[in-house]
Amino acid sequence: MTIPSSTKLHIDIVSDVVCPWCIVGYRQLEKALQASGTDYELHWQPFELNPDMAPEGQNLREHLSEKYGATKEQSHENRLRITQAGAELGFEFSFADDMRMHNTFNVHQLLHWANQQGRMHDLKQALFVAHFTHRRNLSDHNVLADVAAEIGLERAEALAVLEDQRFSSEVRAAERSWISQGISGVPAVIFNHRHLVTGAQGVENYTRILQELAAAQD
């Protein structure tokens, strides 16, 4: 079924690449968009789950225990649930006991740079895979530059962006802007600048939301 629309649906997704439900939610929305034939434009927006985390990061299970009080059993159950959700959407989560949570400010700066070249979406997807599937160290500038190079971006320039922090002010301003608009958790999806949907909603719910938006738009 194609959802008719006279104008493109504007979609902002506020997210972080170390947020598992952000990639699950995106894949769910993507399936709903494809199935409905919705004409849309997508814009990724920055959010840091752990802005105060040290550069070296922290063991993921320890982090979840400290931040949310999650027990080892709860963490294990949550990982199974996320892994199952990812598998249903064609995304591989590869959790391990030594997996780490990272500070992602540099990640968002690199994404800002990639956006100037029309490659933010591609880099965002590659970073989700780098973190969750291959457990690569996103705190390492060289790793981030490697991921950028793997999708065809200039590695030396990516490294320079990270070293000189040239986009730090722009990224901080964008993060503050979304927080000031009430975004406190991710994923947060904003349709047409005014309809906020939080969390991974599932393909069916996203499809219903798209239908309602199309009906209101037309």
Q: Give the per-residue pLDDT at 34.
A: 96
Tell me how far apart the alpha carbons of residues 28 and 5 are, in angstroms, rounded to a whole number: 21
Q: Residue 45: in which H helix or E strand, if any?
A: strand 40-46
Tell me how far apart the alpha carbons of residues 54 and 58 are, in angstroms, rounded to a whole number: 8
Q: Give the per-residue pLDDT at 61.
A: 87
DSSP 90: T
Q: Give the per-residue pLDDT at 70.
A: 81
Chunked mean pLDDT (size 10), the chain, 218 residues:
64 98 98 95 97 89 87 91 98 95 96 98 98 96 98 98 98 98 96 96 97 84
Give whole-number Cα distances, 141 to 64, 144, 146, 147, in Å: 25, 5, 9, 10
Q: Residue 187: in which H helix or E strand, if any?
A: none
Cis preceding linkage at 187, omega within 30: yes
Q: Give the per-residue pLDDT at 2.
A: 42
Q: Give the per-residue pLDDT at 7.
A: 82
- Domains, the chain: 9-52+103-212 (3.40.30.10)
Q: Give residues with Cβ within 8 angstroms of 72, minimum separation 6.
A: 61, 65
pTM, full prediction: 0.94
Tell me how far apart the alpha carbons of residues 39 and 159 are, in angstroms, rounded to a whole number: 35
For 76, the token pair is 């294990």
